[in-house]
Structure 1
Amino acid sequence: MTKTTTFHGSDLEEISAFYRIPPESILPFADNVNPLGFSPAVRQELAAHLDVVTRYPDRNYTALKEAIGQYLDVSPSSVAIGNGSTELISLFIRLYARKRALLLSPSYSEYERELSLNGCGKVSYFLRREDDFRLNLPHFLQALDETISLLILCNPNNPTSSAICLDEMEEIIRFCKARNIYVMIDETYVEFAPADNISSVSLTTRYDNLMVIRGVSKFFAAPGLRLGYGVTGSRHFLAHLQKLQNPWSLNSIAAFAGERLFQDTDYIQQTKELIRQERLRCQKALSTIPALKLYPSFANFQLVQILRGPTSPQVFEAAIREGFLIRDCSSFAGLKGEYVRFCYRLPQEDQRLLEFFQRLFAQYA
């Protein structure tokens, strides 16, 4: 059983064609999207207001920025809107990648792609499995030398699901500020975190070398809206954003839906509670399997190391044959060994995946 190609978590159609499995029969445990789906309340309101497509969106997205400001308890004037978080990542890198960028590894590959497109070199700082992929702060700060102009962090990190707490993050930002290093923090998964001391949004009011970027793709299950947003205290970046960004970067439907998503407190709390419960349940069940090692999870997904038994490609194939799409992590640089990743879904779906792991690794006790 050998997998001949590597897939991204969102490649459902390609995987369906490759394995000749109907896409509707595959449970996507690799896309890290909220299993509750799109907010029912917002769906209903959006369906009743589809005529927003007949109007140009507000060029300044004033109402959307106010909704985000209220959601994050920040001034709307510090909020930037993008066509997905990818656009803001690209624009931030274009502006501040003057020398080299320092990246945590393993992490999201899009950062490297954008750095390459902008002709910026990069240095990788590898998280160590001996530390459970937690950041060794004193050692990490030594890597931020005079050749670095930009630091890119994903917090919580993908694929490790590890996180940097707020106190440590402030120390990093303060250190970078003194050395004229700009910091971009991708908080795509922070709303799933089980603790309140992970987000760095509050630091944007005290440091102007910082940009926190989020989106609605994962937590709000709306990747098709392509709504990204950022928070920064840097008037320099916001001014340049107006010059570099295309007008009406975000369409009317996304702007309308976004305003209401951030106000749907019932959906937000329901999501947080579901992920909290499933995180605890999945970790408890998998921790009884001797052939597997689990790492602390601060996002809505779990990194699992295979200590003995099948390889990660073999586990991927065994899972997809039973209709479970998990992530084979062999393509992530910095993950030496055999690792797979899966996101938490609905209880009955998670139970089926847990039973699959128990059956597959029963003989390796």
Structure 2
Amino acid sequence: MIKHKEHFHGSDLEKIEQYYGIKKEDIISFSANVNPLGISPNLRKTLSEHLNAITTYPDREYTSLRHCIAEYIHSDAEHIIVGNGSTELISLFIQIEHPKKAMVLGPTYSEYEREIFLGGGTTHYYPLKEADDFALNIEDFTACLNESIDLLVICNPNNPTSSAITRTQMRQILDVCKQYDIFVMVDETYVEFTENMEEITSIPLTHYYNNIIILRGTSKFFAAPGLRLGYAVTGNHDLIKSINTRQNPWTINSLAVIAGELMFQDQDYIKKTRELISSERAKIYQALQENPNYKPYPPSANFILVKILKEDLTSQDLFDRTILKGLMIRDCSTFPFLDQKYIRFCFMMPEDNRKLLDCLMQ
């Protein structure tokens, strides 16, 4: 198991407050990768009218919520499992599949490795190459797959590289995995932020492949990490049955169910989010490309990975410089295969993005 260094997570504002003496209310977190618009206005306006929902148990099958999600993602309600955040679903899936040897595309989110380790399995990384701008070389990657691997984990778009795999490429991966009896878990936490989501999401593939499960949540795109509402999509009915059997009843509370239904139907909010992120992503990428001190990698998600080219400048230096101005970025030296020359930050509101760029360009 790769040893991950201590770091400040995007939610560690209390630790930041204590360490740097800055009030958490005064910190703009560019590290949490959360939608800067905040929660859906429809949700904010309407949820209080449904407080009486907590006086009854939610529907044990979450039928209405699953149908609402199905309409949102253009899939079948029977293919959807809801959970207490995507983290619960990752844990349940790993417990059921019980992989002995998993392959993970890295650098990436450490929770996958942790869950595999807790389940008694080992994790092997396929490193995305900096020379390729961290884009996956499909031919080289699929040549590394073999019958000793029983689980493949892909974050798409990937965190922290912001690189993405197209659905056509995913189909090539699934075909090879099918040959070796490898199950594929795809985390699509950030796919809704992408410019060309219809070319990236693997959800349509669940109609044709039974060796794939896709995970999504409401923490990032819908700015509701405290809601703890996630969902999985798979066409494997045996897996759905196993998860439903193992999962605790009423894993999602009544208000979270209503909140989910309100958010998934707020088309105006969804449209505004995509327009904002698209505009800011293009502006920030271009600004960084023009600065000789940095190399930005092409971003697909709502965040960008940047390499520091200036010799006497490290990711810790930049973290300290920005946090003292109340701007929190991610020092990426904690990720496998990255070092003290990489930072990551998400796209916030235009005026906040300008403050961060001004700070970085000093």
Q: TM-score range by the shorter chain?
A: over 0.9
> After superposition, what is the alpha-carbon deviation per residue over 1:233-272, rounded to whole angstroms, capped at 9, x for unaligned?
0001111012110000111111110011111000000000
In structure 1, C-alpha distance between the alignment counterparts of 2:145 and 2:251, rounded to whole Å = 34
> After superposition, what is the alpha-carbon deviation per residue over 1:199-249, rounded to whole angstroms, capped at 9, x for unaligned?
000000000111010000000000011000011000011110121100001
In structure 1, C-alpha distance between the alignment counterparts of 2:243 and 2:58, rounded to whole Å = 18
The residue type equivalent to 2:249 in the other structure is P
The residue type equivalent to 2:89 in the other structure is L
2:296 alignment partner, one of 275, 294, 297: 294
> After superposition, what is the alpha-carbon deviation per residue over 1:261-314, rounded to whole angstroms, capped at 9, x for unaligned?
111000000000000000011112111110100001011001000011311011
2:354 alignment partner, one of 351, 354, 358: 351
In structure 2, C-alpha distance between the alignment counterparts of 1:287 and 1:104, rounded to whole Å = 26
1:311 alignment partner, one of 286, 311, 314: 314
- Matched residue, 1:251: 253
Do residues 120 (structure 1) and 149 (structure 2) align? no
**1:190-339 to 2 correspondence within 5 Å?**
190-195=191-196, 196-308=198-310, 309-336=312-339, 338-339=341-342
Give TM-score scaled by structure 1 length. Answer: 0.96
Report the alpha carbon displacement of residue 335 of structure 1 after superposing the two structures with TM: 1.2
In structure 1, C-alpha distance between the alignment counterparts of 2:34 and 2:56, rounded to whole Å = 30
Report the alpha carbon displacement of residue 157 of structure 1 after superposing the two structures with TM: 0.1
In structure 2, C-alpha distance between the alignment counterparts of 1:292 and 1:307, rounded to whole Å = 5
In structure 2, C-alpha distance between the alignment counterparts of 1:25 and 1:337, rounded to whole Å = 26
Residue pair 2:96, 2:243 contacting (<8 A) in 1 also: no
Residue pair 1:97, 1:150 contacting (<8 A) in 2 also: no
In structure 1, C-alpha distance between the alignment counterparts of 2:163 and 2:195, rounded to whole Å = 12
Q: What secondary structure sits across from 1:248 in the alignment?
A: coil
Residue pair 1:305, 1:337 contacting (<8 A) in 2 also: no
**Farther-moved stretch of structure 1 (181-190 vs 306-315):** 306-315
**Farther-moved stretch of structure 1 (350-359 vs 183-192):** 350-359
**Farther-moved stretch of structure 1 (182-191 vs 14-23):** 14-23
Gaps of 5+ in 1: 360-365
Q: What do you get for the CA RMSD once the two structures are aligned?
A: 1.1
The residue type equivalent to 2:315 in the other structure is S
Residue pair 2:331, 2:340 contacting (<8 A) in 1 also: no
In structure 2, C-alpha distance between the alignment counterparts of 1:358 and 1:76, rounded to whole Å = 48
Q: What is the total number of aligned residue pairs between the two structures? A: 356
In structure 1, C-alpha distance between the alignment counterparts of 2:145 and 2:123, rounded to whole Å = 12
The residue type equivalent to 1:326 in the other structure is I
Runs of 4+ in 1 over 2 A off after TM superposition: none
Report the alpha carbon displacement of residue 5 of structure 1 after superposing the two structures with TM: 5.7
Q: What secondary structure sits across from 2:57 in the alignment?
A: coil
Identity %, equivalent residues: 49
In structure 2, C-alpha distance between the alignment counterparts of 1:323 and 1:336, rounded to whole Å = 24
- Matched residue, 2:177: 176
Do residues 33 (structure 1) and 34 (structure 2) align? yes
- Matched residue, 1:362: none
The residue type equivalent to 1:322 in the other structure is K
Q: What secondary structure sits across from 2:164 in the alignment?
A: coil
Report the alpha carbon displacement of residue 358 of structure 1 after superposing the two structures with TM: 1.4
The residue type equivalent to 1:233 in the other structure is G
Q: What secondary structure sits across from 1:49 in the alignment?
A: helix
Give TM-score scaled by structure 2 length. Answer: 0.97
Gaps of 5+ in 2: none
Residue pair 2:86, 2:229 contacting (<8 A) in 1 also: yes
